Amino acid sequence: MQLKPADWRAALAGATASLLAPVAPLTAHAAGSGDGSTPWLVDSAVLVYSEAGGRVRAVEPVVSLKRTDAAGVSTGLKLTVDTLTGASPNGAVAQPGVQTFTSPSGKATYEAPAGRVPLDPSFKDTRVALAANQERPWGTDTRLGYGAHFSHEYDFTSLGANVSLARDFDRRNTTLSLGLALEADQLRPVGGQPVPLKPMAGTGSGKTGNGTRHVADLLLGWTQVVNRQWLMQLNLGLGAGSGEHTDPYKLLSVVDGGTGLVTGSRVVAEGRPDRRTRTSLFWGHKVSLGPGVLDASYRWYGDSWGVRAHTVDLRWRHPLPGGGFVQPRWRHHVQSAADFYRGWLVEGVDWDSATQTTPLAHASADTRLGGFTADTIGVTVGWPLAKEQLVTLRLESYRQRQDALAGAPGVLAALPLTPELKATMLTVGWSFRW
């Protein structure tokens, strides 16, 4: 059984980052129940994600609990379980004829139809993630937060911890915050970790053992109450990762520079730098406009691999009679390609099949590292039930258009090398006190 690439979960996280928080008006800062205890605020949701063309499908249930006691100590717990199936692009380029590939385990083969981007159909995995955090007063105007998370899947395990400080100024109209998160990952690829930029081989041949990766993130935040109708937030994020970043399941095709047909070694394993630094800037606004609330944000991202991205996210929350709401959303994302992103390797230029060497230090055909434009359009509807309960339904459509690959030789110029990606996301949520 082949599992999803270890870092594919980042793509799913993009779809589920706002699974719970934006839809529930209930607050954990509530008076205790009649027996003097503090109730838990429970947010639960189930996401169903499906890509067109029989590609990746995911089902992800999430349960989040939070409570704040009389001393102002907030405690949060979160459980996530996701199951993924379907087919995922393996990085190889389309060809006019049928192509045959060996699975990562080296024990099976699969075919890619003529004229189609190759998809590995054995894309299966189940992940379980647990997270716990607590925030407590530390002096008069300062709050201390800390937490930990654990995530496990067949070929990947992650363990992390975080700590943060937040201090209020100007009668709590201004808040400055500082956060640090550390993460240690263990990668156990099916069949072993391929040697970067070397021909793919079966189990044990041309592969190494497990890999590790360490990640550190620093967050500087500023939240400002501008006036009674306007709340502004500005965050600066700095991150660094070291260790194994190469995706063990991604390939690069070796093609003839004249005909565009695969030749020589046919496919080699991708290779990425073992270090990556990241910088992000987030600027968000929540503005009350008449009966509704506008939630608008802009995010800039850049990293040492050459990826640059701009994201605009707009939501409009409008109340409905009876305490419900409707919230349309539009998200627009533009990304440039990594410095080492390429669609293929040219025999005799980028790759020498006779010596199995390349002048390139790094190379990847993973479309997540390519340039693309993506739009998400959707709507969330929420309606209250008895006893402070809220049910929500969110439907969103995602469309990703990959940048065209320049300089396609021979037959590649007439093939669909960058097909459009379409996905549908349906989320059902239920919030209540317990």
Backbone angles phi, psi at 48, to 5 degrees: -120, 120
Residue carrying the six token digits 């690069």 = 252
Q: Please report the domains of the chain, with CATH numbers, ordered by start residue.
A: 9-433 (2.40.160.40)
In 47-149, alpha helices (H): none
Q: Going by C-beta distance under 8 Å and a sequence separation of 6 or more, which residues neighbour residue 321?
A: none
In this structure, the chain runs to a length of: 434
- Which residues does residue 217 pair with via DSSP β-bridges, in sequence order? 181, 239
pLDDT in tens, 67-80: 999 999 999 999 99
Dihedral angle sign, alpha carbons of residues 237, 243, 246, 247: negative
- Residues 15, 17, 19, 23: what is their CA dihedral angle, to the nearest 10 degrees? -120
With CA atoms as reference, report the closest residue to 123 among 11, 17, 16, 268. Answer: 11
pLDDT band at 105 (very low <50, low <70, confident <90, very high): confident
Q: What Å distances lie between residue 29 and 69, 192, 288, 433, CA to CA?
A: 8, 49, 22, 11
HSE, CB side, 13 Å, CA atoms: give it for residue 145: 17
pLDDT of amino acid 200: 77
Residue carrying the six token digits 């709401």 = 325
The arithmetic mean of pLDDT across residues 102-128, rounded, is: 88
pLDDT over threshold 70, residue 19:
no
Q: Going by C-beta distance under 8 Å and a sequence separation of 6 or more, which residues neighbour residue 32?
A: 38, 39, 70
The rounded percent of the chain whose pLDDT value lies above 70 is: 90
The arithmetic mean of pLDDT across residues 40-61, rounded, is: 95
With CA atoms as reference, report the closest residue to 173 among 232, 119, 129. Answer: 232
- Beta-carbon neighbour count of residue 414 at 10 Å? 12
pTM of the model: 0.89
CA distance from start to end of the chain: 40
* CA distance linking residue 42 with residue 147, whole number of Å: 18
pLDDT in tens, 194-236: 899 999 754 434 566 789 999 999 999 999 999 999 999 999 9
Locate 44 and state its tokens: 């639960």
